[in-house]
């Protein structure tokens, strides 16, 4: 039987997100950049948000080479007024916001006792306050009247986050925001979910200290997959949560961690390469210290 002739439309069709406008914070690099490529491949118009225009324009140029359209909006998400005005500007240019990917964030490795007030505030303002401001403005300016989908990028923080306590606290706050917004906004047709990436390969890892990089190199041995993840493996999950395929899903935190949360000290997974990486664009950035891993 030909399902196309029978009128069946799969949720995983090539034009899945055609006509949609989806805002991606931190769209100039990393997971945000890869998400923009994935969204464009599904027919959406990604609007890249960040603080550095050159990075955003670089990703827009990549998409243009593929014949895909993207918007760019410079916003410091730590500034609530800037977020309000930036969202208004996006709506003025594109006329709608069907989805928001709250991906922007930043942190640095440090034990709790060494985090200064300034360092703490910088991470919390970016990772928690910025996510809240974007959610609030996208909801009040558009989604309350039209519905939509919001996906946050958090972290696996269920059992603490040693050496990353500032971002652990902020990401835990975003998880609670996700669950709260999922309940408060459901009657407006807004779904709110999050993904929690585990150890993901990206160029940003190269900025960490040599000691921390050595820890990352051995991290793969603790992950049941015996490898680190790719940015595309995260962006694919983000796009699923934005899509009609997840219509009955809200308030979820989807773990994208190669099974790390299941790792047990009394159960050793043999060395293997049974599940190869997903990297549809062949553009995953791999820092020098992970070459050969």
Q: Does residue 186 sit within a domain?
A: yes
Closest CA to 139 of 94, 101, 188, 76: 188
pLDDT at residue number 205:
63
| Helix, coil or strand: residue 121 | helix
Which residues lie across from 151 on neighbouring strands? 101, 193
Residue numbers of the domain that contains 99: 21-276+283-290
Q: What does the pLDDT read at residue 132?
A: 98
Asked if the structure places residue 1 within a domain, the reply is: no
The DSSP secondary structure of 11-45, one letter per residue, reads TT-TTTTTT-EEEEETTTSHHHHHHHHHHHHTT-E
| 3 inside domain | no
- Residue at 2 is within a domain: no
* pLDDT on residue 1: 44
**Do the domain assignments include residue 195?**
yes
Q: Would 12 be classed as within a structural domain?
A: no
Question: Are 158 and 172 in contact, with CB atoms under 8 Å apart?
Answer: no
What string of pLDDT tens digits covers the 293 residues of the chain? 455 556 888 888 889 999 999 999 999 999 999 999 999 999 999 999 999 999 999 999 999 999 999 999 999 999 999 999 999 999 999 999 999 999 999 888 899 999 999 999 999 999 999 999 999 999 999 999 999 999 999 999 988 999 899 999 999 999 999 999 999 999 999 999 999 999 888 756 666 667 767 777 777 888 999 988 999 999 999 999 999 999 999 999 999 999 998 988 888 888 898 888 888 866 556 666 566 66
Angstrom distance (rounded) from CA 221 to CA 270: 10
Are 241 and 193 within 8 A, CB to CB?
Answer: yes
At residue 108, the pLDDT reads: 87
Q: Which of 280, 278, 198, 288 lies closest to 230 in space, CA to CA?
A: 278
Nearest to 97 by CA among 108, 109, 86, 113: 86
The first and second tokens of residue 40, run together, are 């464009």
First to last CA, the chain: 46
Beta bridge partners of 153: 195
Query: For residue 149, what pLDDT is reported?
Result: 98
- For 289, list phi and psi in degrees, rounded to 5: -70, -10
CA angle 284, 287, 293 (to 5 degrees): 85
What is the distance between the alpha carbons of residues 60 and 151, in angstroms, rounded to a whole number?
21
pTM score, two decimals? Answer: 0.91
What pLDDT score was predicted for residue 273? 87
In a domain, 243, yes or no: yes
**Residue 38: CATH number of its domain:** 3.40.50.720
Domain count, the chain: 1
Q: How remote is the C-alpha of 77 from its chain's centroid?
A: 15
Neighbours of 218 (CB within 10 A): 9
């Amino acid at each position: 039987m030909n399902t196309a002739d029978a009128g069946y439309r799969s949720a995983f069709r090539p034009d899945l997100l055609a006509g949609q406008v989806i805002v991606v914070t931190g769209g100039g690099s990393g997971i945000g950049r890869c998400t923009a490529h994935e969204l464009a491949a599904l027919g959406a118009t990604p609007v890249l948000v960040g603080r550095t225009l050159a990075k955003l324009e670089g990703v827009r140029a990549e998409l243009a080479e593929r014949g895909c359209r993207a918007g760019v909006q410079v916003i410091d998400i730590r500034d609530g007024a800037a977020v309000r005005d930036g969202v208004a500007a996006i709506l003025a240019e594109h006329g709608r916001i069907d989805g928001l990917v709250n991906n922007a964030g930043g942190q640095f490795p440090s034990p709790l006792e060494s985090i200064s007030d300034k360092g703490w505030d910088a991470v919390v303002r970016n990772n928690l306050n910025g996510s809240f401001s974007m959610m609030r403005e996208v909801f009040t300016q558009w989604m309350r009247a039209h519905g939509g989908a919001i996906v946050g990028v958090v972290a696996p923080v269920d059992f603490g986050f040693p050496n990353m306590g500032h971002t652990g606290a902020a990401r835990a706050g975003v998880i609670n925001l996700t669950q709260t917004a999922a309940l408060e906004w459901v009657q407006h047709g807004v779904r709110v979910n999050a993904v929690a990436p585990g150890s993901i390969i990206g160029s940003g890892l190269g900025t960490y200290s040599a000691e921390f990089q050595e820890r990352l190199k051995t991290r793969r041995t603790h992950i049941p997959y015996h490898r680190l993840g790719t940015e595309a493996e995260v962006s694919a999950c983000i796009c699923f949560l934005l899509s009609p395929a997840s219509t009955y899903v809200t308030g979820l935190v989807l773990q994208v961690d190669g099974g790390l949360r299941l790792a047990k000290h009394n159960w050793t997974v043999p060395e293997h390469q049974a599940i190869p990486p997903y990297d549809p664009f062949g553009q995953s950035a791999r820092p020098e210290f992970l070459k050969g891993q």
